[in-house]
């Protein structure tokens, strides 16, 4: 079943790339495996997937221990400062940096571990109260502030678009984020390159790719629905 799901997602990614005149290699598929057992992760891994996304520190660390070592682990969920120490040096990318305080803690732990940590700044593009992330207006200043931390490399922006029935409803939000990343790049801030745009989930990743996404985070589309009351 997972194999068919993956083929389906892969076909959709290729279709969206083609439609947008983009190369398939510009888009990384992250399999969002939160709440799913390692057996299922292994099945997806065996199909060639090497990018996984998790939203809880403990769960990610547990899975890291038992899964193969060549996986790129992506922290995509809200990160509390007191948990940063458990993942610095172990994740390939933290997508969810939404405050200077969090960035400063990442810097502190990065120095301790003698590593440089790749991060994305999370933007709450629709200003939804239920979501983390900083507003579009605050983003450039936040990027400038975080850029001063020399053990952090800002690689781009991440956003979680609103939950919508029709993915077309999110197109303008994706376009806004893309434009914002272009604007930031044009400022030539030291230590900042907007290479990555992490946007698009099961419901809207094709539209996100058409609007310039370079990382899509797909959970349900690969692993099926999540059951939170086990």
Ligand X SMILES: *Cc1c(COP(=O)(O)O)cnc(C)c1O
Q: How far is the CB of 203 from ligand X (least distance, A)?
A: 6
Among 84, 152, 201, 206, binds ligand X (CB under 6 A): 201
With H, G, I as helix, E, B as strand and everything else as coil, classify residue 183. Answer: helix
Give 143 or 222: the residue with its C-beta nearer to ligand X: 222
Paired with 156 in beta bridges are 120, 196
With CB under 6 A as the contact rule, which of the stretches 4-12, 148-156, 165-173, 199-207 interacts with ligand X?
Answer: 199-207
Please list every residue from 127 through 156 that binds ligand X, using CB under 6 A.
Answer: none
The reply to whether 76 sits near ligand X by the rule CB under 6 A is yes
The reply to whether 36 sits near ligand X by the rule CB under 6 A is no
Please list every residue from 47 through 66 that binds ligand X, using CB under 6 A.
Answer: 55
Task: Measure Cα distances from 33 to 45, 63, 88 in Å.
Answer: 11, 10, 20
Among 117, 121, 142, 218, binds ligand X (CB under 6 A): 218
Please list every residue from 80 through 119 that binds ligand X, using CB under 6 A.
Answer: none
Give 156 or 219: the residue with its C-beta nearer to ligand X: 219
Among 77, 133, 156, 167, binds ligand X (CB under 6 A): 77
CA angle 135, 141, 142 (to 5 degrees): 70
Question: Are 74 and 52 a contacting pair, CB within 8 Å?
Answer: yes
Question: Are 139 and 184 a contacting pair, CB within 8 Å?
Answer: yes
With CB under 6 A as the contact rule, which of the stretches 83-91, 112-120, 166-174, 200-208 interacts with ligand X?
Answer: 200-208
Paired with 32 in beta bridges are 53
Give 147 or 177: the residue with its C-beta nearer to ligand X: 177
Of 10, 121, 131, 31, the closest CA to residue 74 belongs to 31
- The pair phi, psi for residue 155, each rounded to 5°, is -105, -5
The reply to whether 32 sits near ligand X by the rule CB under 6 A is yes
CA distance 31 to 13: 13
CA distance 113 to 54: 22
**Placement of tokens 């952090």 in the chain:** 152
Please identify the residue of the shown chain whose CB is closest to the bound ligand X: 219
Cα–chain center distance at 115: 20
Among 42, 92, 185, 202, binds ligand X (CB under 6 A): 202
Q: How far is the CB of 59 from ligand X (least distance, A)?
A: 12
Cα–chain center distance at 216: 7
Residues that contact ligand X, how many (by CB under 6 A)? 14
The reply to whether 200 sits near ligand X by the rule CB under 6 A is no
Q: List residues near ligand X by CB under 6 A.
A: 32, 34, 55, 76-77, 160, 201-203, 217-221
């Amino acid at each position: 079943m997972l194999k068919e799901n993956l083929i389906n997602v892969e076909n959709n990614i290729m279709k969206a790339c083609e439609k947008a005149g983009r190369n398939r290699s510009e888009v990384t598929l992250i399999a969002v495996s939160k709440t799913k057992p390692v057996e299922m992760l292994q099945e997806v891994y065996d199909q060639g997937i090497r990018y996984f996304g998790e939203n809880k520190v403990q769960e990610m660390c547990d899975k890291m221990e038992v899964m193969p070592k060549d996986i790129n682990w992506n922290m995509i969920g809200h990160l509390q400062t007191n948990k940063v120490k458990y993942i610095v040096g172990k994740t390939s990318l933290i997508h969810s940096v939404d405050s200077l305080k969090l960035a400063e803690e990442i810097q502190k732990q990065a120095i301790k571990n003698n590593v440089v940590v790749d991060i994305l700044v999370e933007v709450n593009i629709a200003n939804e109260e239920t979501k983390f992330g900083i507003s579009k207006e605050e983003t450039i200043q936040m990027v400038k502030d975080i850029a001063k931390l020399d053990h952090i490399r800002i690689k781009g922006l991440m956003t979680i678009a609103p939950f919508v029935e029709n993915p077309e409803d999110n197109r303008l939000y994706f376009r806004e984020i893309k434009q914002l990343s272009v604007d930031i790049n044009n400022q030539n801030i030291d230590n900042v390159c907007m290479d990555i745009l992490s946007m698009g989930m099961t419901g809207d990743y094709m539209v996100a790719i058409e609007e310039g996404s370079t990382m899509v985070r797909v959970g349900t589309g690969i692993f099926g629905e999540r059951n939170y009351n086990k």
